[in-house]
A and B are shown apart, each in its own frame.
Chain A
C-alpha cells in the first residue's frame, strides 16, 4: 500500500495527557499537511511542511499543538495537556510541490475523556 498512512487509527486518552500521532506520506510527495475534522464540519487546515521545513503553523489551534517532520519523510503531531475539545479526527495528507490534489490518510480518531 503506497498511500498515506496514519498511526494510530484510534486514541482514547484522559484529559491532561499528551498524545502523539504519526503520519507517513506518499514517498514521492514532499508536501505534508495536517488537518482536523470535527463532527458536521469539513477538514480544517492546521499546518504544513515542505520537506522538513514547516512553512505554515499559525493555524495550529493553540500552543499545545506542535508538529515535526525531522527528516522530510514521516511527521508527528503532538497535543500536550489534552482537553475534551481536542476530541476530533486528525487527518494527514500529502502532495507534490505545486500539486493541488492532496491525498489523505485514514485519520486518527482522538477521544479525550
Chain B
C-alpha cells in the first residue's frame, strides 16, 4: 500500500521558470517530510525537509510547502536550472519512526 504518492512521473520546465513537484500522503501519523534528489546510478541526496508543525521551509532556490489538512506537500524550485534535472523523491516518516516511506519519484527535466 503506497502511503506516499507522487502522481506525476515526469515534468518538463524551461530554465529560469518555476518547477513545482507535488506529493500526497495517506498516513496521518507522518509528521516529518523530506525531499531527495537522485541522479542516475547514484544514491538519493537529501535536499530539504519540513516538520508537520510548519507549513513552509525555504533553502535558497528550494521551498517546500506543507498542507496538513489536505495531506499534500510540494517542492518549488525557483529559478530552475538544467543541473536540477534529476528524479525527485518525496519521503515521509512517523514521529519516533525509523523508516522513510518514499513515493515513486518525479523525473524533472529542465531545458535550456
B46: chain A residues at CB < 8 Å are: 101-104
Q: Name B residues whose Cβ lies closer than 8 Å to a Cβ of A.
A: 4, 32, 34, 36, 41-46, 49, 89, 91, 93, 98-105
Count of residues in A whose CB is under 8 Å from the partner chain? 26
Main secondary structure of the interface of B (DSSP, over half): strand
A100, B91: Cα distance in complex, Å: 10
Say whether B102 contacts A100, CB under 8 Å: no
The verdict on A42 contacting B104 (CB below 8 Å), with A100-B34, A104-B43 known, is: yes
A100-B32, A100-B34 as given contacts; A42 in contact with B43, CB under 8 Å? no
Task: Decide yes or no: A107 and B43 within 8 Å by CB, A45-B99, A100-B34, A101-B49 being known contacts.
Answer: yes
A binding-site residues for B, Cβ under 8 Å? 4, 6, 31, 33, 35, 40-45, 48, 55-56, 59, 91, 93, 100-107, 109
CA distance A48 to B98 in the complex (A): 8
A-B contacts, 14 listed (Cβ < 8 Å): A31-B98, A33-B98, A33-B99, A43-B102, A44-B102, A48-B99, A91-B43, A91-B44, A93-B43, A102-B46, A102-B100, A104-B44, A106-B43, A107-B42
